């Protein structure tokens, strides 16, 4: 695995870890709560990101990242089968597909071209696009979780603690560089 892919993998894992920690402290009512009209619940963000990850990263080098089987619009509707456990299973499945794909990439894959919605991207560009998309939605999850549970533990540097917290507040994974 190249240094670029290794570094991007570490960042994806950090974002997933933050979202998992933020969601672990929420009751089901909070997980499904719409914080305001026209604002997605954490459940909807989970459903959307799970669908995105599964579509974008399955058969990454050989098929368009927007699979014909994906129904993106349905990712923003909670259906009868969308229990928290089913949504979290889809979440884990999406992340597993991503991490398996990243683990299989070789150095020479970085200059290859892939398509996302019919648009060509260099693999390195698609990796950055995917990381940005995941980070955006993880930020939403963290913000909504904080809004719903203002007394929850801070997952990054707490307000007023910037001078006290020096060095990584993220621990590096055991398999990291």
Superfamily assignment of 3-148 in CATH?
dinb family like domain (1.20.120.450)
What pLDDT was estimated at residue 176? 41
Q: Mean pLDDT throughout 64-84? A: 96
pLDDT digits (tens, 9 = 90+) for 15-39: 999 999 999 999 999 999 999 999 9
Cβ atoms within 10 A of the Cβ of 68, count? 8
pLDDT number for residue 159: 87
For the chain, how far is it from start to end, CA to CA, in angstroms? Answer: 11
Task: Give the pTM.
Answer: 0.90
Tens of pLDDT, residues 80-127: 999 999 999 999 999 999 999 999 999 899 989 999 999 999 999 999
Please report, rounded to a whole number, the percentage of residues in the chain having pLDDT higher than 90.
81
Separation of alpha carbons 130 and 109, rounded Å: 16
CA-based nearest residue to 149, from 30, 68, 1: 30
**156: pLDDT strictly greater than 90:** no
d(CA 16, CA 22): 10
For the chain, the domains span: 3-148
pLDDT at residue 174 tops 60: no
| Contacts (Cβ under 8 Å, ≥6 apart) of 86 | none
């Amino acid at each position: 695995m190249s240094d670029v892919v290794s570094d991007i993998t570490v960042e994806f894992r950090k974002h997933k870890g933050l979202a998992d920690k933020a969601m672990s402290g929420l009751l089901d009512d909070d997980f499904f709560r719409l914080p305001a009209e026209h604002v997605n619940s954490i459940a909807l963000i989970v459903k959307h990101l799970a669908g995105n990850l599964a579509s974008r990263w399955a058969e990454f080098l050989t098929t368009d990242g927007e699979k014909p089987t994906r129904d993106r619009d349905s990712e923003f509707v909670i259906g009868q089968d969308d229990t928290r456990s089913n949504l979290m299973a889809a979440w884990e499945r999406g992340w597993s597909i991503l991490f398996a794909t990243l683990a299989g990439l070789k150095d020479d894959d970085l200059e290859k071209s892939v398509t996302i919605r019919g648009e060509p991207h260099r693999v390195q560009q698609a990796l950055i696009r995917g990381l940005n998309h995941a980070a955006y939605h993880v930020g939403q999850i963290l913000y909504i979780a904080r809004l719903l549970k203002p007394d929850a533990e801070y997952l990054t540097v707490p307000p007023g603690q910037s001078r006290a917290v020096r060095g990584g507040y993220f621990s590096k994974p055991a398999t990291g560089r």
